[in-house]
Structure 1
Amino acid sequence: MMSWLLAPLAILLGAVLTTQVATNTQLGKALANPYIPATVNMASGLIVTMILTWALTSQWPSREMMREAPWYLWPAGGILGVTYLTGNILLAPKLGAGALVALVVAGQLIFSVLLDHFGWFGFEQHPAGVARLAGCSLMIAGVFLISRF
C-alpha cells in the first residue's frame, strides 16, 4: 500500500521532472541545438551526484562486489538516461508539455505493471489483475484526453 506521506514527495518529483524537460527544451532552443542541453544536464548532474555521494556515503562497496555486478548494469542507467533526456528535448516542442508528460507517464505505468507482473529486473511479482489493467486503461484514456491527437 502506498504511503500517503510519501505521495506528495512523488508528486513533487513529477513537477521537478517536468521542469527539467522545460528547461532543457528552452536551452536547446536558445542554443539552436537539442543535444547540447543533454550534455550540460548530464555534466551538471554528475557533479551534483558526486558531491552528494561523497557527502552521504559512509560505507562503500568492496572491489569484489563491484566485480560481481553484471557488466551491463554499469552503463545501462546512463545510456537509458541520455535516451530519455534527449528524447524529451526533441519531442517536447512537437508534442507540448502536457502530451509529452502524459505519454511518458503512461509508458512508465504500463511498463512498470509488466515489470511487476513478470518479475523482470528482479522485481517481486505482482499480478497484473483487473484493477491494475483498469488503471492502465484509464491512464491511456487520460493520455488521449490530454493530448487530443
Structure 2
Amino acid sequence: MLIGIILALAAGALVGVQNMFNNKVNQASGGWSTTALVLGMGFAASLVMGLVFEGTELFTVQPMQTWFWFSGILGVGVVTCLVQGVRRLGATLATAIAMASQLICALWWDSLGWFGLEQVPFTMQKGLGALLLIGGVLVFKFGGVSRAKETSEAV
C-alpha cells in the first residue's frame, strides 16, 4: 500500500509540473501543436522505456474490449483541456479543479463498477470527502482577499 501511495503522490506532482510545462509550450506554439508535441514525445518515451524494461514483450497484448484501445484519444482531451484551463485559470486552480473532477468521476465509476472496475460501495464518508475537496477548491478560489486588491481598495 505504501508503494501505491508514493506512486500516486509522484503522479500528482508530475501532472502539476507537466501542466506548467505544457502551458509554456502552448504560449510558444499553440494548442494543437502542444497536444501533438506532448503526446508524440510521450509515445516516443514510452516506446523506448518499454523496450528497455520489457523488450519484445512490449508488443504482446492480451485480448481486451475494442474500445479500450482508444484510451490514447482521451489523452488528447486531457492535454488540450488542461492547457487551456491553465491558460485561463492559472496552474493551481486548473489543477485543483481537474483533480476534484478526477476524484468525483472515479468515485462515481467505482461505485457503479463501470469500465470493468470492481464495484466499491458508495459511503457517506466518501461523499463527504468529495464535498470537502470541492469546498477546498472554492475556498482556494474565493476565500481570501489578495494584498493587491486590499491595497487598491484602500487608495
Which residue of structure 2 lines up, in the alignment, with residue 35 of structure 1? Answer: 32
Which residue of structure 1 lines up, in the alignment, with residue 153 of structure 2? Answer: none
State the superposition RMSD in angstroms: 1.8
Partner Cα distance (1:13, 1:54) in 2: 22
Secondary structure at 2:2's aligned position in 1? coil
Q: How does the TM-score come out when normalised to structure 2?
A: 0.83
Q: How does 1:90-109 map to 2 (within 5 A)?
A: 90-109=84-103
Aligned-residue sequence identity (percent) comes to 26
> 10-19 or 105-114, which moves further after superposition?
10-19
Q: 1:55 to 1:5 in 2, by over 3 A?
A: closer
Secondary structure at 1:127's aligned position in 2? coil
> 50-59 or 87-96, which moves further after superposition?
50-59
The amino acid that maps onto 2:21 is T
Query: Is there any run of 5+ residues in structure 1 with no aligned partner, and where?
Result: none
User: How far did residue 61 of structure 1 move?
Assistant: 2.8
* Count of residue pairs the alignment pairs up: 141
Secondary structure at 1:106's aligned position in 2? helix
Which residue of structure 2 lines up, in the alignment, with residue 46 of structure 1? Answer: 43
Q: Which runs of 4+ in 1 moved over 3 A?
A: none
Q: Which one has the largest radius of gyration?
A: 2
Q: How does the TM-score come out when normalised to structure 1?
A: 0.86
Which residue of structure 2 lines up, in the alignment, with residue 61 of structure 1? Answer: 60
Secondary structure at 2:128's aligned position in 1? helix
The amino acid that maps onto 2:52 is A
> As a proportion of its length, which structure holds more helix?
2
Partner Cα distance (2:14, 2:133) in 1: 21
Partner Cα distance (2:66, 2:24) in 1: 36
Say yes or no: does 1:72 pair with 2:57.
no
